[in-house]
Amino acid sequence: MKNQHIPYSSAINDMIFDIKRKDMVSFPKKGSAESATDFFNQIIKWQFQHKATIQAIHKALLEYVKRPDAVFAIRLYGSAPRGKYFLLRRGFLSEYQDGLKTFFCDNTFSMPFAALKLYDKCYTASDLVEHLSQKNVVCGFKADKEERKLAYYKCNSYSHINLNDSGWYLAHILPVGYNFAGKQRLTKVFPNPKRAEWELDPAHIRRVDRSFTENEYAVLVAHFLRLVHPLNSFVIPKKNYVAYDGKNLGEEQELINIVQDYVKAEFPEEYAELQTLMQIPEQEKVTDTVGKIHWSVSEYQIKNWRKEIFKDKPKKASKKRSKTVIDQYDEDKAYALDNRLRSVGKATFMKLYPLVKQNPDITVEEVEKVYTEYKKGKAENAKRTCLSSTCSIIRNGYEAEALEIIVESSKTDDAAVQAAKKYLEELYQKD
């Protein structure tokens, strides 16, 4: 049964929606690994088991990047300091003189493609052209009000798979934003265009009166393949489910090298074809090892493990994936929103949501007159905190993302999920 509220728009969206009707694959709820290799064998290796599908997607992507009607995602300009949201560009489409198109996104765009690999779902080059030629494409974790005014793509729950909601963190083997040929960074090759360039066109498409330079096109192809190719990504338990002697397991060079070596051995022909196209640099040497790794969906357990790991250890600088630059996308905002929703309670958030939307300055006393259950079972401080958190989520423009999380939550009661779907549809209709 297809989504009755958001129309079918591409074969890839149909695959995404089919995945969303099932339970997302997950890792064992609690476990440990003695080393990065042990962790790879337990958590990551199975992700490359559908070899025929991965090989078929590889061929499709290599065909796609050569097509004159290709549309390329560029993972840039998905975050900005408060007060400078006019610099955000997620979903903004540009068309060049030769007919090629680009749009900006954040890492959320990659998540459905990672899920397709995990679920053994294959697409063709034509499927990808169809998918990126229609507007129902998720380009970001959130869409700011200023972005929605000019964005060509309109993200919604139909095209959206948030792996973080299922406990996963999406990592890339080759960095997506830097270390292209000649140590180039993506921001240097594709600087942020002025917003006015989209405002000039009635369809809000930036028209560029030139074609790509040879270098721009080569970096664009390499970046796009790094972003969505099934041999350049893997998922691990998200950061607040992991305890080890480090900060971000998905950025640990030892683990990245183990995954990369496995991919090269299992897919030698495909990897050789990607060597130039993806501008694969020399593998970075490992200077230290990860050590023992614990994971659990119990954050209480994770806190206890971390206390034990870091007990009596002097504070030291965080380990970095690169000596010069770290990857640009940071998923901490997604984790923070999920944690804030859990602290409020997703069902409680759905009760408070329409009240706060109607009156952003509503008080606890005013809430209790309408939502009588709010009086029961909560201390006064807890009531104020829940209301304040709900107001903050809405005020800071994260309401669509919060509603998406609730819609995709398997542990939230059906009434709250249905309410979230209703309000989400209303938001998208306004856009």
Please give the tally of structural domains in the chain.
2
Tell me the residue type at 248.
Answer: N
Q: Smallest Cα–Cα separation from 296: which of 356, 242, 332, 349?
A: 242
Residue 321 in domain: no
Q: 237 and 43 in contact (C-beta within 8 Å)?
A: yes
Q: How much is the pLDDT for 374?
A: 77
Residue 186 in domain: yes
Question: Which structural domain range is residue 421 located in?
Answer: 332-430
Q: What is the pLDDT of residues 85-108, one digit of tens each?
A: 889 999 999 999 999 999 999 999
The last residue of one of the domains, among 258, 289, 305, is: 305
Which comes out higher in pLDDT, residue 140 or 294?
Answer: 294
Q: What is the pLDDT of residues 340-387, one digit of tens each?
A: 888 888 888 988 899 898 898 898 888 888 887 877 767 788 888 888
Q: Tokens representing 179?
A: 């270390």
pTM: 0.79
Q: What is the pLDDT of residues 295-319, one digit of tens each?
A: 998 888 998 999 888 876 665 555 4
Residue 235 in domain: yes
Judgement on whether residues 149 and 293 belong to the same structural domain of the protein: yes
Mean pLDDT of 246-254: 92
Judgement on whether residues 296 and 379 belong to the same structural domain of the protein: no
| pLDDT confidence bin for 214, thresholds 50/70/90 | very high
Q: How far apart are CA 380 and CA 385, in angstroms?
A: 9
Q: How far apart are CA 425 and CA 137, in angstroms?
A: 15
**Residue with tokens 């989209």, as numbered in its chain:** 198
Q: 55 and 267 in contact (C-beta within 8 Å)?
A: yes
Q: What is the mean pLDDT of the chain?
A: 86
Judgement on whether residues 423 and 293 belong to the same structural domain of the protein: no
- Among 122-126, 165-169, 252-256, the least confident range: 165-169
Judgement on whether residues 252 and 361 belong to the same structural domain of the protein: no
In degrees rounded to 5, what are phi and psi of residue 425?
A: -60, -40
In degrees rounded to 5, what are phi and psi of residue 157?
A: -65, -20
E-strand stretches of 56-97: 71-74, 93-96
Judgement on whether residues 79 and 132 belong to the same structural domain of the protein: yes
Judgement on whether residues 278 and 340 belong to the same structural domain of the protein: no
The last residue of one of the domains, among 288, 305, 322, is: 305
Q: How much is the pLDDT for 3?
A: 42
Judgement on whether residues 123 and 269 belong to the same structural domain of the protein: yes
256 three-state secondary structure: helix
Residue 97 in domain: yes
Count the Cβ atoms, other than its own, within 10 Å of residue 426.
11
Compute CA 43 distance to the chain's CA centroid, rounded to the nearest angstrom. Answer: 19
Residue 322 in domain: no
Residue 171 in domain: yes
Q: How far apart are CA 106 and CA 138, in angstroms?
A: 9
Judgement on whether residues 288 and 365 belong to the same structural domain of the protein: no
**pLDDT surpassing 80 at residue 7:** no
Judgement on whether residues 356 and 271 belong to the same structural domain of the protein: no
Residue 403 in domain: yes
| pLDDT confidence bin for 155, thresholds 50/70/90 | low
Judgement on whether residues 273 and 344 belong to the same structural domain of the protein: no
Residue 284 in domain: yes
In degrees rounded to 5, what are phi and psi of residue 72?
A: -110, 130
Q: How much is the pLDDT for 296?
A: 93
Q: Any bridge partners for residue 242, and if so which?
A: 295
Q: How much is the pLDDT for 418?
A: 84
| pLDDT confidence bin for 336, thresholds 50/70/90 | confident
Q: What is the pLDDT of residues 46-67, one digit of tens each?
A: 999 999 999 999 999 999 999 9
Judgement on whether residues 222 and 299 belong to the same structural domain of the protein: yes
Percent of all residues in the chain with a pLDDT value above 70, rounded to a whole number: 89
Contacts of 423 (CB under 8 A, 6+ apart): 353, 354, 399, 403
Judgement on whether residues 270 and 375 belong to the same structural domain of the protein: no
Q: How much is the pLDDT for 346?
A: 87
Q: How far apart are CA 422 and CA 216, in angstroms?
A: 43
**Residue with tokens 């972003």, as numbered in its chain:** 227
Query: Strand pairing of 233-237 and 168-172?
Result: antiparallel
Q: How far apart are CA 298 and CA 30, in angstroms?
A: 8
| pLDDT confidence bin for 229, thresholds 50/70/90 | very high
Alpha-carbon torsion, ordered 267, 273, 278, 280, to 10 deg: 70
Q: Quick one: 271 exposed, middle or buried, by C-beta within 10 A (0-12, 13-18, 19+)?
A: middle
| pLDDT confidence bin for 329, thresholds 50/70/90 | very low
Contacts of 38 (CB under 8 A, 6+ apart): 293
